[in-house]
Amino acid sequence: MNITDNVPHAAGGLAAVIADLEDVVQQYVNLVTAQLGAWSSRPDGTNIVEALNWITFDIFGELAFGESFNAVENGETHQWVSVLIDTVREMSLVNMRKRMPIMNLILPFMVPSDLGAKLAAHWAHTVAMIESRIAKKDTITRTDFFLNILESGMMEEELLQQNANILIIAGSETTATALAGCLYHLMHNDNCLATLQKDVRSAFNRLDAITGDATQKLPYLHARVEEALRIYPPVAFGLQRVSLVSSQNWTISHDERYWQDPDSFQPERWLNQGLGDNRDAFQRFSLGPRACTSINLAYLEIRVILAKMVWQYDFELLSKDLDWERDSMMHVLWQKPAMNMRFLPRADFGS
């Protein structure tokens, strides 16, 4: 985000605006939760890490560009999204030059030879998506992430394209990462999962009752989301360019000076007085004028997706040897391992 356009962008992240967009979120959440049961019939189940990327990118495509990537419907990652994720990972090598100039000596041997072609393909698709969104300016009447900017006329098309580059990855991949981390830790903490199941299933008697407002009233659900964001922050590194102060989110979130037993997944630390932690050390969406403007959308998606999964299915983890922290790699964003799961209709549905 550029600090000069924080007002138009911020309008897209206001709680009232996000509430108006919930129908889009619900549409894609319902689609993916319906698909999970069918996908789980495969011998190797569902790679939920990949499926979560499908849904969050589809939602953000609709809310930013007025069109979905159709990843959930097709059951596969859109080509542009694949290129985007690969490019972000590989560009982390290039960005290391600013932190460690000695990298200039070995960087040519580390950067993939096709990086330039990937960047060109990614940029061409970004330009096409923005041009398509501008062409729809008079036909899309609901508020979305670009409506206020387009109506204000404050931003040139080139700057729109540059911001779209940031928006699509920041508003999609990070939410999917938060959900994947949450599911992993729930699958390795039976008591936490059982309590969450009881909390969600007792609060709702039908699937369509699970809304953004309704999930805000479930403190145990919120506690699990906060703990997942703490123990596995989607953006784990600090600021870079011309930064006077930078903080490492993952390091702070695992620092014993601020957290009791910091490496353990304990959602109870977010209930009432908690465990005596210093919660001021938890800034999952950053601070100041460059803080994430999509915090309300992120929480809406995470709460509704997780609640509907928990309400509708019992979970089975198939990737028995997976160690989330060991098998994840940080390249600006997390490069996450596959996590195969099976989603089975609730055992108590018959009763």
Q: Largest alpha-carbon pair distance within the chain?
A: 66
H or E stretch at 295: helix 295-312
| Calpha distance 348→310 (Å, rounded) | 13
- Helices 173-187 and 48-65 cross at an angle (nearest 10°) of 150
CB-based contact 298:25 (threshold 8 Å):
no
Which residues are annotated binding-site positions for heme?
292
In angstroms, the first-to-last Cα distance of the chain is 51
CB-based contact 298:292 (threshold 8 Å):
yes
Task: Please give the full DSSP string across 33-56, using - where no structure is assigned.
Answer: HHHHHHHTTSTT-EEHHHHHHHHH
Neighbours of 136 (CB within 10 A): 14
DSSP letter assigned to residue 207: G
In 3D space, the residue among 244, 124, 267 whose CA is nearest the CA of residue 182 turns out to be 267
User: What does each C-alpha distance from 127 to 87, 123, 165 come to in angstroms?
Assistant: 16, 6, 10
Residue written as token pair 């387009």: 150
Q: Backbone phi, then psi, for 330, in 5-degree steps?
A: -95, 115
| Calpha distance 52→280 (Å, rounded) | 29
| Calpha distance 59→215 (Å, rounded) | 19
Which residues are annotated binding-site positions?
292
Q: Backbone phi, then psi, for 286, in 5-degree steps?
A: 70, -175
